Every structure is written in structure tokens, then in C-alpha cells.
Amino acid sequence: MTGSLYRGGLGPMLSGKSLIKVIPRAVVSICILLLLFWWLPTKSFLNAIQSISFPVWFFVFSGYLFGHVLSAFKWRLLLHTVHVKINPLEALKAHSLGLFANLCLPSVVGGDFIRAGVVVQRHGQLIPITLSSLADRLNDTFALILITTVAGLSIPHSLEMDVGPWVNILASTLLVGILSVVVFIRYIPFSMLPTYWVEKISKVRTALSSLSAAPHIAFATFMLSVLIQSGFIMLNVLIAEAIGIAISVYIWFFAWPLAKLIALIPVSLGGIGVREVALSAILVPFGVEVAPVVAQGLSWQAVLIFSGLFAGIMGSTLLERDVKK
């Protein structure tokens, strides 16, 4: 398995530079989790964890894997916009290895590079394939923003009299802010930017252009992103209900995507710790205790870890078969 993953591109990503990023982020995640465990009431936390039955957890695990099968199909559609034709099994193999790589690399973007590298090995076309991965990441990010904004604006004021207006204001601010960023990226002259940002914004601008070049595929993949992320939210709701967190689904559709967006800030390993703190901070004003939220978040993290391991085994097996052929 290890040899296949290295041939798929994981080796270069685990170079000295990558490890320099991994170690401090891992330290941040560990410190946050240790502080949470020290501060939280142990009995309440353990009771919450133990209340999740294996059938519920396994259903969530299976649902998460199915969501990533759809994600592989979605990425394959985006590859077609840059004239890269791969079969569904090849897309699933590359996506699976990327999902596994997310366990080892400092950010989820690292997994995008791994899956792109697997396809590049066979088809070449480094730039188009990398841009399709970036376009896919932008799709997922915009889907999260849309979901949390619509949910925030939809939360009835009568649901939580003290919090409802606050949520509406936050959702409106987020929407205006994101639209401003998109306009900035799309139209800002490069001459006004530092050299460091020119290359990064140029890649994002090119990825957005590739989406606009095939509007029907852009719309279809974006709606798939919304569907997949909504499914992940509902899987989290199942875990939360098993623990005993009883709040409106509106609130989950506002809180979970927002916490996931906050966890994208590159200060921890895969958002571990940051996501749990962010979700707790968002849900506490709605009357939810911190211990069950952290228990829910770590149970979801267990789903991510085991799914990544399963995907790595599956992707590596498919890659080994291709190497033998």
C-alpha cells in the first residue's frame, strides 16, 4: 500500500517542507483537544460518547463514504470541462487516495493535489487537472457558504428570540463579504497586488473561468456539492440526536457549515480542535452544552479517520492492480 501511495504522489507531499507545516499544526490540534478534555466535565463527555450506538455510527460511516463516491463523480464531470476523460473507476481511485492523504497532510487541499497527481501520472496535463481540483474545492466552499447563509436567514426569530436576529445579521454579513471577495478576485488588476498574491489569485481566477466556460456542468456540480454537504449535515444531526442534542435542523444547517469554514483556517491539522471549538461557540447560544457538542464533533472525526483509512486501502488496491497491468 505504501509504495502505491508514494507512486500516486504522496511521497513528495510528505517532504521536509510539508512536515514543517504538519508538526506545528498537529501541536495546535493536540493542545486544543487537551484543553477541552481538561475543561469539560469528564462524566458528561463520556456519557455522550457512549450514547452513540454502533449501528448509528456505522450508518453515518457508510453515508459519508457514499457522499465521497458522489464527490468522485462530481470531480470527473469537472475534468471533462478541461478535456480530460477518465472512467468512473479511475476517478474513484484517485479520489480515494486523496481522501486518505487528508489524514496525513496539513490541510484538505493536500488531498486535492494527491488525487490530481494520480490522474496526471496517467494522462499528463498537469495544469488543467490541477485547476479542475481547485474548481471542485471552490464548488464545495461556495456550497457551504450558500447553505449556512440560507439557513441563517431562514432561522425564525421566534425559534430563539435572543439569538435569531444575531444569526440573520451574521448570515447577511457573510453573504456580502463572500460576494465582495469573489468580485475582488475576479476583477482586481494584478498590478495592484503583491507578487506573492498574483500567482494564487491567478489560479483561482482561472478555475472560476473554467467553470464559467461550461455553465451547465458548473451548475450541475455546484448543486451536487450542495446535496453532498447537506447530506453530511444530516449525518451529523443523526449523531447529535443519538447523543441527545435536541435543536432545530435550521440551526444545524447554519452552524455546521460555518464551523467547517472556520476550520479551513490553516492553524491546525485538518481542522481538528478548531472545528469542535467553533461548533461549540456557535451552538452554546442556542442552549446546547459544550460536552455533547465536543463528543459529537469527535465522533464525526472518527468517521473521517476510518473513512480515510478505508479509502486509502481501496484506492491503493486499485492502484496496485493498475501497476501490475
Q: What is the pLDDT of residue 2?
A: 42
Contact (CB, 8 A) for 269 and 106: yes
DSSP character at residue 244: T
> Distance from first CA to last CA of the chain, Å, rounded?
16
- As for how many domains the chain has, the answer is 1
Higher pLDDT, 158 or 286: 286
Instruction: Give the HSE-up count for residue 300: Cα atoms under 13 Å, Cβ half-sphere.
Output: 26
Confidence of residue 323 (pLDDT cuts 50, 70, 90): low
Question: What is the rounded average pLDDT of the residues 203-225?
Answer: 79
Using one digit for the tens of pLDDT, what is the confidence trace for 54-79? 999 999 999 999 999 999 999 999 88
Using one digit for the tens of pLDDT, what is the confidence trace for 89-132? 888 988 998 888 887 766 666 677 888 888 888 777 777 787 88
Q: What is the dihedral of CA 215, 217, 221, 222, to 10 degrees?
A: 10
pLDDT at 297 over 80: yes
How many percent of the chain have pLDDT more than 90?
Answer: 26
Global pTM?
0.84
Q: What is the pLDDT of residue 17?
A: 56
Using one digit for the tens of pLDDT, what is the confidence trace for 150-175? 888 877 654 555 666 667 677 777 77
Residue type, 49: I
Domain span at residue 204 reads: 2-35+42-324
> Residue 299, Cβ neighbours under 10 Å: how many?
21
Q: What is the pLDDT of residue 64?
A: 96
Q: What is the pLDDT of residue 259?
A: 93
pLDDT at 133 over 60: yes
Using one digit for the tens of pLDDT, what is the confidence trace for 226-260? 999 999 999 999 999 999 998 888 899 999 999 99
Q: What is the pLDDT of residue 229?
A: 96
- Which contiguous run of DSSP H or E holds residue 139? helix 126-154
Confidence of residue 7 (pLDDT cuts 50, 70, 90): very low
Q: What is the pLDDT of residue 109?
A: 67
C-alpha cell at 8: 500516486
Nearest Cα neighbor of 96 from 321, 299, 314, 319 is 314
Q: What average pLDDT does the chain have?
A: 81
Instruction: Give the HSE-up count for residue 84: Cα atoms under 13 Å, Cβ half-sphere.
Output: 26
Nearest Cα neighbor of 132 from 69, 201, 82, 182 is 82
